Chain A
Amino acid sequence: MEDLSVVVSILYQFGTNGAFLLLCALGLIVILGMMNIINLAHGELMMMGAYTASLAYQAGFPFPIAVVISFFVVGVFGAVLERLVVRRFYGRELGALVVTWGISLLLSQGTFLVLGPFLPSIPIPGGAIDVGQYSLSVYWLILIAVSAGAVLGLAWLYNRTEFGLHARATMQNAEMARALGVNTDRVYMLTFSLGAGLAGFSGALLAPTASIMPFMGQQFVAPAFITVVVGGASNVIAGAVGSSVLLSLVRTPVGFYLGAFLGLVALLLAALVIIRLMPNGVSAYFQRWSDRRSRPTV
């Protein structure tokens, strides 16, 4: 029994770290994977999600409803952002990086000026369950399940729906997709809006575990981007899953024994080593593996 509870506790630690990384990266992988835009305002979109959730929660909405509201509010904001700014940067990767960085600075400092240095935080919903001498937070268990569900949902959307098909077609060859009658402008806007909405969703979900401040987005930027960088761009969803598992394996023990900061340093070092070994990211490995499986036996 004692051994079992240790195992459960270790799994729980890995699970929370992996879920955190996945949630951070969720919106980013949609925008990067489907549009090839690197959105440096990602952390601030998550901050907006947390703010919306906090305001909605103060207004009396139950927390789950507040999370859904965050998804839609930040999603609409994303659509506006795409219309006004981002669409001029398709095909200009570095330009998009710089302009979204500008947006991120505007959003965080703007929030600070308008809403002040912090908002009331949201209490962590759910209690704790005891396994042996360890106590596990129910909320984090829910987050693990939600992040897994979100990834499955994304994979379904991407692979099984008409929207996913159009998005993939647009990304591979926008001109051809247009010639086939796909409204690529709409696809771009919806995709960016979906990515932004997911960032808001993640921000809202993580809000109870963080202090709600204008610059809270910064703490998500490093984990989110490292997850995506390590995942690689050839299959973003599988890549993000693979890299969050891999990185959680690195971060959990280091963070546990040496503290949160060195856990973050370990993430960066792991990222550097992994990209050196697998230049196209974890997802290229998956790709090769699945290719090999589909190869006819000669």
Chain B
Amino acid sequence: MNGAGTYLATRDLAKRFGGIVATEQVSLDIAEGELRCIIGPNGAGKSTLFALLCGIHRPDSGRIFIKEQDVTSLPSFRRVRLGVGLTFQTNRAFHDLNVRQNLEVPMGATGSATHSRSARSEDRYRYALSVFGLDGLRETPARELPHHQLQWLEIAMVLSGGPDILLLDEPTAGMSPEETTQTARVLQHLNDDGLTIVVVEHDIAFVRQVAQRVTVLHQGSVFAEGSIDEITAHDDVRRIYLGQA
């Protein structure tokens, strides 16, 4: 591995489904404290990359590193215990449990349950609870929450485990522009506080609000990487992605 402080890295990650190449030679380096957006048109391999990172799928070849440790063959829960928090594109908060139960479930990086969060992650968690307006809803069944708040609940739930890296798959899917902005502001704040965040996103407006660095996936490979200004100025990126967006 190269570069100290690299929190999440992949090397030549490849995955095929049947005859279809989903990702091919994806190499990423995400440094500690970074807020990275991974964008790309539909079918670019974003979801596959996400599934590979969290261990739902195993890559055909290539390696994945979390905090310099090779996790390619580790089961999902071991990766999470290294300090990764994940949310899904389709909301997967526990809909039949109430908000309190949802928040009490996660296990943190230390391999034990929520009450052993570090002071810093405790602050992040409290912050998320209050800005997301979940404080007063403890006994509300999750399925009665409006859509955007369910999405926020899942983020708060993951923060409850005290992660060092957040891995979010389209966290603003289905949100109104105001809710998207609010989400962006919260992520920005968490990142300022030192949390490393990787967002797989489709919504370019959201990406403009938060991203420091953007990776563009196209046809399963890394097509371009740079600041948001560089990316939006990139002719080919405009053609394949922004043109269609």
- CB within 8 Å of B: which residues of A? 291, 294-296
Contacts and interface: CB of A to CB of B under 8 A. Distances in A.
A288 to B, nearest CB: 9
Interface string B14-53: 0011110000000000000000000000000000000000
Contacts of A295: 16, 18-19
Interface of B: 16-19
Nearest to B19: A295
A199 B225 CA distance: 59
A295 B19 CA distance: 4
Nearest to B17: A291
A100 to B, nearest CB: 24
A295 B17 CA distance: 9
9 contacts: A291-B17, A291-B18, A291-B19, A294-B18, A294-B19, A295-B16, A295-B18, A295-B19, A296-B19
Contacts of B16: 295
Contacts of A294: 18-19
Contacts of A296: 19
A296 B16 CA distance: 11
B202 to A, nearest CB: 22
A291 B22 CA distance: 14
- Which of B16, B17, B18: most chain A CB closer than 10 A? B18
A295 B18 CA distance: 6
Nearest to B20: A295
Nearest to A288: B18
A56 to B, nearest CB: 47
Contacts of A291: 17-19
A294 B20 CA distance: 10
A297 to B, nearest CB: 10
Contacts of B17: 291
A279 to B, nearest CB: 13
A234 to B, nearest CB: 12
A296 B17 CA distance: 12
A36 to B, nearest CB: 20
Contacts of B18: 291, 294-295
Nearest to A296: B19
A294 B16 CA distance: 12
A94 to B, nearest CB: 15
A146 to B, nearest CB: 34
B237 to A, nearest CB: 26
Given A294-B19, A295-B16, 7 more contacts: A291-B17, A291-B18, A291-B19, A294-B18, A295-B18, A295-B19, A296-B19
